[in-house]
A = this chain, B = another copy of it.
Amino acid sequence: MYLSSEKTNIKLLGTVFITLCCLASQLPSEAAASRVFPSSHGPIQATTLKSDLHHPWGMAFINANRVLITERRGRLLALNLKSKHTQVVRGLPRIIAQGQGGLLDVAIDPQFEKNRWVYISYTGGLPRSKSTHVGRGKLQNGKLNQFQVIFKASPLMKSQFHFGSRLVFSNQGHLYISLGERGQKSLAQDPSNHSGSMIRVWPDGSVPADNPFLKQRGYQPSIFSYGHRNMQGAALHPTTGEVWAHEHGPKGGDEINVIRPGRNYGWPKTTYGIDYDGTIISTQTTLPGITSPIHHWTPSIAPSGMAFVKGPLFSKWRGDLLVGALKDRRLMHLTIRGEQVLEQEPLLGELAERIRDVEIGPSGAIYLLTDSKNGSLLKLTPQQ
């Protein structure tokens, strides 16, 4: 899919630096914004590619040079990693940036080179009546043209909490949308609404013929699984093609789940967590008919963003999982065998940044977004 290798670009970037360092004063400092951190893969170099991002939330690579980044306040940025040019993409819909809501994830169509579709998830509706929406537009000349809403979660509510959401394309071309339960626990166990569900639709929002609840009266046909609390990380497993997702627990009980059709993941009937005020939500961690997580974090780390390691750069970690931690201000490296988490290695502790999103770039480098008013795009590579 990628026309040129990232290695080539790094060389070109070097040339640009040499040429321009006398002209543009900020370039030398950006080039110098690089630190080294220890890891089980050996020393890792973390380079700041872009700072001054206002609460960046999601990212998607168009190719080795171009990445799209969302800011929760409602800006979509197209960043050229070679020229360092940043463009604010126009043509976005009205976005309600309140509380945990705003512009959330971004994804590009599997056939983007042919059809130019870019997908965003965001809080849409009105300030007092809103929900997670997903829309798409054709990225042309810095604008999302022909913008159309392909999914609106029901119900629309005033709540400013638990919107999810991540967008993941499957190898079949389905679009998975992870949601939250808007802070209304009971909604997560009621599949007549979308709250607390994983959604699976075609890219135009239509419902696949084999969705699990298609013929079940009273169920939302786009629901793929339910009983989730707030999923802010999801990724396609590189060999099985299944979607894995994590979700925030309350106080304790953050979970990783392998998402399977028609399953109930239990919230709030089962949980490893307790409520923020210390009260018991459920004494059950497992129940018949409920699928258990393959991993939980108690106490919570507040996970956000997730990626499976692939490509040549971090070959020792291939197939492992990387999860951003907001509260813990770390990148979690989980050694995976089958569906088991064998080990957990916290990384970048010295950086002390809230990690909002994790992606593997076209060449296999790890890219992170840090969550703050002055957030950054970081690139991790093994130290040369």
7 contacts between A and B (CB under 8 A): A111-B171, A114-B171, A114-B241, A115-B241, A202-B206, A205-B209, A206-B207
Provide the residues of chain B in CB contact with A345, threshold 8 Å.
none
7 additional A-B residue pairs with CB within 8 Å, beyond A110-B173, A172-B203:
A111-B171, A114-B241, A202-B208, A204-B208, A204-B209, A204-B210, A206-B207
Whose C-beta in chain B lies nearest to the C-beta of A148? B210
Complex Cα–Cα for A273 and B58 (A): 58
Which residue, A114, A117, A202, A205, has most C-beta atoms of chain B within 10 A?
A202
What is the predominant secondary structure among interface residues of chain A facing chain B?
loop
- Once the chains bind, are A206 and B206 in contact (CB under 8 Å)? yes
In chain A, positions 193-223 with a C-beta closer than 8 Å to chain B are 202-210
A150 interface hit (Cβ, 8 Å): yes
- Once the chains bind, are A173 and B206 in contact (CB under 8 Å)? no
Whose C-beta in chain B lies nearest to the C-beta of A115? B171
Interface string of A253-279 (1 = CB under 8 A from B): 000000000000000000000000000
Complex Cα–Cα for A210 and B115 (A): 16
Complex Cα–Cα for A111 and B172 (A): 7
In chain A, positions 172-186 with a C-beta closer than 8 Å to chain B are 172-173
Provide the residues of chain B in CB contact with A204, threshold 8 Å.
172, 208-210
Taken together, the copies of this chain in the complex come to 2
- Once the chains bind, are A208 and B209 in contact (CB under 8 Å)? no
Whose C-beta in chain B lies nearest to the C-beta of A214? B206
Closest chain B CB from A224 CB (angstroms): 14
Closest chain B CB from A306 CB (angstroms): 20
Closest chain B CB from A45 CB (angstroms): 31
Complex Cα–Cα for A208 and B241 (A): 23
- Once the chains bind, are B110 and A111 in contact (CB under 8 Å)? yes
Whose C-beta in chain B lies nearest to the C-beta of A169? B111
Provide the residues of chain B in CB contact with A150, threshold 8 Å.
209
Provide the residues of chain B in CB contact with A117, threshold 8 Å.
172
- Once the chains bind, are B210 and A173 in contact (CB under 8 Å)? no
- Once the chains bind, are B115 and A172 in contact (CB under 8 Å)? yes
Whose C-beta in chain B lies nearest to the C-beta of A114? B171
Which residue in B110, B114, B206, B209 is a CB contact (below 8 Å) of A209? Answer: B206
Closest chain B CB from A235 CB (angstroms): 15
Complex Cα–Cα for A236 and B156 (A): 41
Closest chain B CB from A219 CB (angstroms): 16
Interface string of A138-167 (1 = CB under 8 A from B): 000000000000100000000000000000
Complex Cα–Cα for A115 and B206 (A): 20
Provide the residues of chain B in CB contact with A172, threshold 8 Å.
111, 115, 117, 203-204
Provide the residues of chain B in CB contact with A210, threshold 8 Å.
204
Whose C-beta in chain B lies nearest to the C-beta of A202? B202
Whose C-beta in chain B lies nearest to the C-beta of A113? B171
Provide the residues of chain B in CB contact with A115, threshold 8 Å.
171-172, 241
Complex Cα–Cα for A208 and B207 (A): 8
Closest chain B CB from A109 CB (angstroms): 8
- Once the chains bind, are A208 and B208 in contact (CB under 8 Å)? no
Provide the residues of chain B in CB contact with A171, threshold 8 Å.
111, 114-115
Closest chain B CB from A201 CB (angstroms): 9
Complex Cα–Cα for A204 and B170 (A): 14
Complex Cα–Cα for A283 and B202 (A): 44
Provide the residues of chain B in CB contact with A110, threshold 8 Å.
110-111, 173
Provide the residues of chain B in CB contact with A173, threshold 8 Å.
110-111, 173, 202-203
Closest chain B CB from A181 CB (angstroms): 26
Closest chain B CB from A222 CB (angstroms): 11
Closest chain B CB from A205 CB (angstroms): 5
